[in-house]
Amino acid sequence: MENLYLKKAEQNLPEIKEKVIKPYAMTNAMSKGDGILIDLGNHYVGYFSFNLDYVDVYIDAPVRLYVKFGENAREIGDDFSAYEEGLCMSWLQEEIINIDFPGEYKMPRRYAARYIYIKVVASPKKLVLSDFSFKAVSSADEDRLRACDISDEELKKIDSVAVNTLKNCMHRIFEDGPKRDRRLWTGDLRLEALTNYYTFNNLSLVRRCLYLFAASDTNDKGFIPGFVYENPKFVSGNWFLVDYALLFVASACDYYNHTGDKETFNELYPAIESQMEAAHRALGTDGIMSVPKGCDVFIDWCRGLEKTTSLHGVYLYTLKLFVNVLENIGHGDRDVYAERYNAALECAVSILYNEEKKAFVNSSDNYQYSVHSLVWMILGGAVREDEARAMLADVLNSPDSVKPFTPYMHHYVVEAMVSLSMNENAKAYIKNYWGDMISLGADTFYEVYVPGDPDFSPYKDRMINSMCHAWSCTPAYFIRKYFN
Ligand code: RAM
């Protein structure tokens, strides 16, 4: 039987918009060993073509070119042959192409790039490369982009880079990164969808992604995978992240809150409910969320991060959102989940909170003091507002606390701030963290950015890091929703 969710996902397949970029580059006669650098002027995702011609004597053998695509200038300078393999090196965007005849040459694969470097590896005679063209693609419709009426120039610039980041990750799905992974992740989807509501507002793309997760295969504990593929055909992922599964529910709630589309929410309800039930079954005997065998938890990429408190916070946060939506639509399950929220909240306070230290420092997390634990407890509603502000300032400023590594986790720090009406702090935080990437020359925001450690990578070698990563696009969400 055809999967109804997959059918719905196909019905919501977005139209892909195209825009042709014609970069200027000096065209001189080139011989073996010569290179040319092309600057597209901004970061784009799409297809590259150019023209090849001979100079005076016809080329009587194929021309072999090396072509490298860089999301930024640093990547062009990188020596890919020195790459230390963590993730597969085939993600690095370089090709050797052999061209048999003069004329237009269209490279068939899609790339994410601002810079393109071409070197002549072998050619029998002199040649000229010209008519460089980059067909940029995205399912973001620039004509629908809402204006950002903010007078603060710094925030305006941050907003435009954030919008560019989102646009370049919007394709047949919300991709996590157009250079690497290029798939749909639950955690990334949530942040992309939120930002999309305040920018391009492509609702069918959000629906498509929600349906794709609803169509995925759950594991033996009942959790949906952290990611799915959909091109050329749908394939369910094989990494089961409990926090991400919960954020799928959060995304469905956000979608309802933004659109009021009860029909879609109800269609998705069996998948949503199954995640809430899987999470309920994963509660330990102490009432705190645990990570069942065969599952994992993400939260952030920092090394050695203890995650129990954070994960429990994600559970509380999701329950809170879910109960609220159930209440709005007058759903009969509301009370069951409201009771679960209250029980989980009580456990958080009695087990995870350390009265003496006035912090979420506990044996479940080996007494680790982290920004993550507190932020998720604040978002889960486990901290009194008046105390939360001072606690947040303390954990952020403490030299001993574990700090976020990814824009993904930094998003939730800012979300905690706005939930506590600390909008000025939130603005300063965004300027400091995301603004720093701009001062490094970012056209799009990065997958990971650790101030003071520009070489950090969760995958051994920073060359594989994605420099346009959707989960870092949320300043546009905060700026447009809260600071306007
Ligand atoms: C990486 C990607 C992706 C993220 C996962 C958990 O592989 O950066 O965006 O969601 O980690």
pLDDT digits (tens, 9 = 90+) for 394-406: 999 999 999 999 9
Q: Is the pLDDT of residue 120 over 70?
A: yes
Burial pattern 46-63, b for ≥16 Cβ within 10 A else e, equals bbbebebebeeeebeeeb
Atom of ligand 1 nearest to the CA of 227: 10
Q: What is the pLDDT of residues 284-335, one digit of tens each?
A: 999 999 999 999 999 999 989 999 999 999 999 999 999 999 999 999 999 9
DSSP reduced 3-state for 133: strand
Probe residue for ligand 1, chosen from 166, 185, 186, 466 as the CB with the greatest number of ligand atoms within 8 Å: 185
Predicted local distance difference test score (pLDDT) of residue 27 = 84
Predicted local distance difference test score (pLDDT) of residue 340 = 98
Cα(176) to centroid of ligand 1, in Å? 7
Question: How far is the C-alpha of 394 from the C-alpha of 389, rounded, in Å?
Answer: 9
Cα(238) to centroid of ligand 1, in Å? 13
CATH no. for 142-482: 1.50.10.10
Q: Is the pLDDT of residue 95 over 50?
A: yes
Where do the structural domains in the chain lie, given as residue ranges? Answer: 17-138, 142-482
Sequence-ordered alpha helix ranges (H) in 357-453: 371-379, 385-397, 407-419, 423-439
Q: Whose CA is nearest to atom 6 of ligand 1?
A: 298
Q: Is the pLDDT of residue 134 over 50?
A: yes
Probe residue for ligand 1, chosen from 88, 241, 305, 447 as the CB with the greatest number of ligand atoms within 8 Å: 447
Which of 246, 251, 252 lies closest to 223 in space, CA to CA?
246
Predicted local distance difference test score (pLDDT) of residue 30 = 98
477 contacts 194 by C-beta, under 8 angstroms? yes
Predicted local distance difference test score (pLDDT) of residue 2 = 65
Q: What average pLDDT does the structure give for the chain?
A: 97
Cα(245) to centroid of ligand 1, in Å? 14
375 contacts 313 by C-beta, under 8 angstroms? yes
Question: How far is the C-alpha of 223 from the C-alpha of 243, rounded, in Å?
Answer: 10
What CATH architecture is 17-138?
Answer: Sandwich (2.60)
**Close Cβ partners of 266 (under 8 Å, ≥ 6 residues apart):** none
Predicted local distance difference test score (pLDDT) of residue 166 = 98
Atom of ligand 1 nearest to the CA of 241: 6
Which of 484, 483, 473 lies closest to 195 in space, CA to CA?
473
Atom of ligand 1 nearest to the CA of 298: 6
Q: Is the pLDDT of residue 171 over 50?
A: yes
349 contacts 312 by C-beta, under 8 angstroms? no
Cα(181) to centroid of ligand 1, in Å? 8
Predicted local distance difference test score (pLDDT) of residue 484 = 86
Which of 254, 373, 428, 263 lies closest to 325 in space, CA to CA?
254
pLDDT interval class at 1 (50, 70, 90): very low
Cα(439) to centroid of ligand 1, in Å? 24
Probe residue for ligand 1, chosen from 176, 456, 468 as the CB with the greatest number of ligand atoms within 8 Å: 176
Q: Whose CA is nearest to atom 3 of ligand 1?
A: 176
Q: Whose CA is nearest to atom 7 of ligand 1?
A: 181
Ligand 1 environment, Cβ below 6 A = 176, 181, 185, 187-188, 298, 447, 471
Q: Is the pLDDT of residue 173 over 70?
A: yes
Can you say whether the dihedral through the CA atoms of 345, 348, 350, 356 is positive or negative? negative
Q: What is the pLDDT of residues 231-288, one digit of tens each?
A: 999 999 999 999 999 999 999 999 999 999 999 999 999 999 999 999 999 999 999 9
Q: What percent of the chain has pLDDT over 90?
A: 98
pLDDT interval class at 168 (50, 70, 90): very high
pTM of the model: 0.98
Cis peptide before 407 (omega within 30 of 0): no
Atom of ligand 1 nearest to the CA of 470: 9
DSSP string, 161-174: HHHHHHHTTBSSSB
